[in-house]
C-alpha cells in the first residue's frame, strides 16, 4: 500500500508539474498582453462584421483551436507518463551550445554521469546566449530555474548584481569542502569573473578571444608570402589593396561582433580605456569613455576603407563568415572558437594570426580580452543537489576535460594545467594555429584597460553600440558623432543600472 501511495503522490506531483506547464503556456500567451488584448478588442468590435462576411472561416479557426488544445493535453499526458522512477539526483544545466558544441556538452555530461551514480547532470540547449539567459531569469521568477546556467560575458554584471539569485562558486566550493583555487585559471580569464577582492563568482567554461583568420591560397595567388601575414593596420590595408587589385578577392577584411572586436578588444589591445573605474570593475558608478581619439580614429578609418572595399561590413554577429569561407574576403576577424567550423568549411589553406595594431598609437600591443561564457549556479535549490553541482564543476575544470574541450572546439584552455596538458599531448605541434589565441591573450600582463569590462545593462549597451556603428557604416554619422552618441546613450543605461541595483 505504501508503494501505491508513493506512486500516487509522485504522479500527483508530476500532474501539478503538467498543470504548471499548461498554465505557464497560457501565461506566456497572456504575457503578450497588448497583442492579445488588441486582438480581442478587434474581435469583439468586428465580430458582427466578420460574421456577416464569412462564418465558415471562424468555424475553421475554432476547429484549429480545438486541435491545438488536444495536442496540448496530449503533451501533458506524455509528461505524466514519462514520470519514470530514477534514483540519481537530477541536476539541470541550461546551455547555449548548439550543433557540434552541443554534442560535446552532452558527451561531457555523459562522462560525469558514468563516473558516479549519485547525481545525474541533465544538459538542455536553450537557444543562443541571450535566450538562455532570459529563460533562466524567467525560470527564476517562476521558481522553475536550473541549477546551472551558462551566461555570456556581457551578462556578467547583471548576474553579479543579482545577489539573492546567485550562489557564488567560491562559496559553493567552500561549503562543499572541495578544493577551489582561482590561481589555476589563466589570468585573463580569472580577472574577468572575480570580484575586486579576488573571489570568483562563476565557473569559467568557454572563453574565446578574437583573432584574424586569413586565406593563405589567396595570398599566394596575389604573389604574397602567407607565412608573413600583416601585423599592423596599415600593412593589412596595403595587403588587402594588393589582393583586390590582383583580382583574387572582392573585399580586404570583414569583422564579426563589431563591438567586441573593433571597440572592446581594440581598446584593450591599444591599452586605452573603454569606461572609467577600470572599465567598470571598480564599481557601478562607471561611465563610458570609448569616444576617445584612438577609437574615433580607428572607426573613422574603417569607414573610409569601406570606399575601396578594404573593409566590408557584413552584419552584427558572425553573419559575414560565408563571405570568408567562399573566398570573397581575404581576412576575417572573429572569435577563435570559430576555428573548428571554419576548418570544416574552408576549401583553402586557413591561416590564423593576431589582431593588427596601430604603430602610431602603441609600440607594441598589450593583450586581447575574452568573450564566451561562464557557468552560474542559481540559488534556491536543495542542499543535497548543490553537492552534486559542486562535484560536477570540479569534474568540469579538471585538466583532461578542459584540454579535450579546448582542442575540440577552439575555445581557450581556461586553466594553466589544461594548457600544459595540451602542450604535453603535442597538440600545438600538429596545430600551431590553435596557440595563436592563447599567446595573444597572454601576450602581456593585463592592465586596468585590458583585463576585461564590467558594465551593467551591457546587453542593451552593445545593441546601442551596434546601432551607432551601423550609422557610421551607412554614412549617416561620422565616427566622432556616432561614438559620442553611443557613449551618451550607454551612460544613461549605466545610470539606470546603478539606480536599480543600489
Partner 1 sequence: MAVMQDKRVHFRNKWLPYLFIAPQMVVILVFFFWPASQAIKQSVYLEDPFGLSSQFVWLDNFTALFTDPHYLESVKVTLVFSLATIGLSLSVSLLLAVFADQVIKGANFYKTFIIWPYAVAPPLAGVLWLFLFHPAGGVVAYLLNHAGIDWDYFANSGQAMLLVVVAAAWKQISYNFLFFLAGLQAIPTSLLESAAIDGAGPVTRFRTIIFPLLSPTTFFLLVVNVIYAFFETFGIIHAATQGGPGGATNTLIFKVFNDGFIGLDLGGSAAQSVVLMIIVMMLTILQFKFIERRVQY
| Cell matching residue 269 | 589591445
Contacting residue, 163, 363, 364, 429, with partner 1 by CB under 8 A: 163
Regarding 126 and contact with partner 1 (CB under 8 A), the answer is no
Residue 151, beta-bridge partner list? 374
By the rule CB under 8 A, 21 interacts with partner 1: no
Provide, rounded to whole angstroms, the least separation between the CB of residue 23 and partner 1: 10
Q: Does 323 bind partner 1 (CB under 8 A)?
A: yes
Kind and range of the H or E run holding 458: helix 458-473
Kindly state whether residue 215 participates in binding partner 1, applying the rule CB under 8 A.
no
Calpha distance 320→360 (Å, rounded): 29
Asked if 40 touches partner 1 (CB under 8 A), the answer is yes
Burial grade of 424 (CB within 10 A; 0-12, 13-18, 19 or more): exposed
Q: What is the smallest separation between the CB atom of 314 and partner 1, expressed in angstroms? A: 6
Name which position in 320, 351, 388, 452 contacts partner 1 (CB under 8 A).
Answer: 320
CB of 42 to partner 1, least distance (A): 5
Considering beta carbons, is residue 89 or 501 the nearer one to partner 1? 501
Nearer to partner 1, 364 or 502 (CB): 502
66 lines the binding site for partner 1 (CB under 8 A): no
Q: Which is nearer to partner 1, 29 or 174 (CB)?
A: 29
Across the strands, what pairs with 91?
A: 121
Which residues between 291 and 310 bind partner 1 (CB under 8 A)? Answer: 306
Considering the rule CB under 8 A, would residue 380 count as an interface residue with partner 1? no
Residues, the chain, total? 502
Q: Which stretch binds partner 1 (CB under 8 A): 103-111, 162-170, 355-363, 408-416?
A: 162-170
User: Which residue among 24, 89, 301, 471 contacts partner 1 (CB under 8 A)?
Assistant: 471
Q: Helical H runs in 32-128? A: 33-53, 55-81, 99-115
C-alpha cell at 429: 605541434
What is the closest distance, in whole angstroms, from the C-beta atom of residue 15 to partner 1 in the complex? 21
Q: Is 496 in the site for partner 1 (CB under 8 A)?
A: yes
247 binds partner 1 (CB under 8 A): no
Q: Is 316 in the site for partner 1 (CB under 8 A)?
A: yes
Q: Return the residue matching grid coordinates 593596420.
A: 233
Q: End-to-end alpha-carbon separation of the chain, Å?
A: 55
Asked if residue 68 binds partner 1 (CB under 8 A), the reply is no
Nearer to partner 1, 187 or 328 (CB): 328
**Strands 311-312 vs 251-255: parallel, antiparallel or unpaired:** parallel
Q: Per DSSP, what are the bridge partners of residue 203?
A: 375
Options 76, 96, 137, 310; binder of partner 1; rule CB under 8 A? 137
Strand partners, 335: 210
DSSP string, 264-297: IIHHHHTT--SBHHHHTTT-TT--B-TTSHHHHH
Q: How far apart are CA 131 and CA 127, in angstroms?
A: 5
Check binding of 16 to partner 1 (CB under 8 A). no
Among 44-52, 208-216, 367-375, 405-413, the segment contacting partner 1 (CB under 8 A): 44-52
* Site for partner 1 contains 276 (CB under 8 A): no
Provide the pairing of β-strand 371-377 with 148-152: antiparallel
Closer Cβ to partner 1, 119 or 458, answer by number: 458
Phi and psi, residue 436, nearest 5°: -55, -45
Site for partner 1 (CB under 8 A): which residue of 1, 2, 3, 34?
Answer: 34
In sequence order, what are the residues at sequence separation of 6 or more whose Cβ sits closer than 8 angstroms to the Cβ of residue 285? 276, 277, 498
Q: Which of 13, 53, 74, 77 binds partner 1 (CB under 8 A)?
A: 53
CB of 463 to partner 1, least distance (A): 7
Is residue 57 part of the contact set for partner 1 (CB under 8 A)? Answer: yes
Spell 144-179 as b/e; 16+ CB within 10 A means b. Answer: ebbbbbbbbbbbbbbbbbeeebbbbbbebbeebeee
Q: Min. distance of Cβ 312 from partner 1 in angstroms? A: 8
Residue 10 binds to partner 1 (criterion: CB under 8 A): no
Name 332's bridge partners: 213, 254
Closer residue to partner 1 in complex, CB, 219/472: 472
Residues 220-256: b if buried by 16+ CB within 10 A, e if exposed: ebbebeeeebbbebeebbebbebbbeeebbebbbbbb
Q: Is 48 in the site for partner 1 (CB under 8 A)?
A: yes
- The 3-state DSSP class for residue 154 equals helix
- Residue 489 as a binder of partner 1 (CB under 8 A): the answer is yes
Number of residues that bind partner 1 (CB under 8 A): 64
Give the binding site for partner 1 (CB under 8 A): 26-27, 29-31, 33-42, 45-46, 48-50, 52-54, 56-57, 130, 134, 137, 140-141, 158, 161-165, 306, 313-316, 319-323, 457, 459-460, 463, 466-468, 470-471, 473-474, 476, 489, 492, 496, 499-501
Amino acid at each position: 500500500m505504501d508503494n501505491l501511495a508513493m506512486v500516487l503522490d509522485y504522479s500527483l506531483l508530476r500532474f501539478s508539474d503538467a498543470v504548471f506547464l499548461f498554465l505557464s503556456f497560457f501565461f506566456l500567451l497572456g504575457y503578450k498582453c497588448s497583442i492579445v488584448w488588441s486582438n480581442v478588442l478587434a474581435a469583439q468590435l468586428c465580430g458582427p462584421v466578420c460574421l456577416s462576411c464569412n462564418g465558415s472561416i471562424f468555424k475553421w479557426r475554432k476547429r484549429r483551436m480545438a486541435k491545438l488544445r488536444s495536442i496540448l493535453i496530449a503533451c501533458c499526458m506524455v509528461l505524466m507518463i514519462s514520470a519514470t522512477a530514477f534514483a540519481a539526483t537530477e541536476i539541470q544545466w541550461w546551455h547555449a551550445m548548439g550543433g557540434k558544441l552541443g554534442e560535446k556538452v552532452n558527451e561531457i555530461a555523459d562522462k560525469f554521469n558514468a563516473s558516479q551514480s549519485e547525481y545525474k547532470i541533465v544538459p538542455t540547449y536553450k537557444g543562443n546566449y541571450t535566450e538562455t539567459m532570459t529563460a533562466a531569469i524567467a525560470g527564476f521568477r517562476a521558481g522553475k530555474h536550473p541549477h546551472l546556467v551558462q551566461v555570456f560575458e556581457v551578462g556578467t554584471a547583471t548576474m553579479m548584481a543579482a545577489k539573492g539569485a546567485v550562489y557564488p562558486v567560491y562559496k559553493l566550493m567552500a561549503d562543499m569542502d572541495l578544493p577551489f583555487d582561482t590561481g589555476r585559471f589563466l589570468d585573463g580569464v580569472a580577472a574577468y569573473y572575480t570580484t575586486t577582492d579576488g573571489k570568483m563568482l562563476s565557473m569559467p567554461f568557454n572563453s574565446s578571444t578574437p583573432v584574424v583568420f586569413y586565406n593563405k591560397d589567396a595570398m599566394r595567388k596575389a604573389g604574397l608570402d602567407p607565412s608573413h601575414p600583416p601585423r599592423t593596420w596599415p600593412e593589412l590595408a596595403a595587403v588587402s589593396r594588393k589582393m583586390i587589385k590582383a583580382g583574387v578577392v572582392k573585399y580586404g577584411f570583414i569583422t564579426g561582433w563589431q563591438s567586441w572586436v573593433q571597440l572592446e578588444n581594440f581598446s584593450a589591445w591599444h591599452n586605452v580605456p573603454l569606461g572609467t573605474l577600470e572599465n567598470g570593475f571598480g564599481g557601478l558608478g562607471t561611465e563610458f569613455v570609448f569616444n576617445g581619439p584612438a577609437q574615433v580614429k580607428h572607426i573613422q578609418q574603417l569607414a573610409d576603407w569601406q570606399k575601396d572595399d578594404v573593409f566590408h561590413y557584413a552584419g552584427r554577429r558572425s553573419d559575414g563568415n560565408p563571405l570568408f569561407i567562399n573566398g570573397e574576403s581575404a581576412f576575417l576577424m572573429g572569435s577563435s572558437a570559430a576555428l573548428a567550423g571554419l576548418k570544416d568549411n574552408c576549401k583553402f589553406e586557413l591561416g590564423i594570426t593576431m589582431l593588427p595594431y596601430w604603430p602610431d598609437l602603441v609600440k607594441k600591443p598589450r593583450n586581447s580580452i575574452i568573450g564566451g561564457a561562464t557557468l552560474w549556479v542559481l540559488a534556491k535549490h536543495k542542499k543535497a543537489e548543490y553537492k552534486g553541482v559542486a562535484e560536477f564543476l570540479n569534474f568540469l575544470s579538471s585538466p583532461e576535460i578542459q584540454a579535450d574541450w579546448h582542442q575540440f572546439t577552439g575555445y581557450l584552455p581556461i586553466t594553466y594545467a589544461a594548457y600544459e596538458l595540451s602542450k604535453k599531448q603535442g597538440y600545438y605541434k600538429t596545430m600551431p594555429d590553435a596557440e595563436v589565441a592563447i599567446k595573444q591573450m597572454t601576450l602581456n600582463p593585463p592592465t586596468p584597460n585590458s583585463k576585461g569590462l564590467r558594465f551593467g545593462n551591457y546587453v542593451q549597451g552593445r545593441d546601442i553600440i551596434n546601432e551607432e556603428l551601423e550609422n557610421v557604416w551607412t554614412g549617416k554619422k561620422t565616427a566622432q558623432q556616432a561614438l559620442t552618441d553611443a557613449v551618451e546613450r550607454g551612460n544613461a543605461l549605466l545610470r539606470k543600472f546603478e539606480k536599480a541595483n543600489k
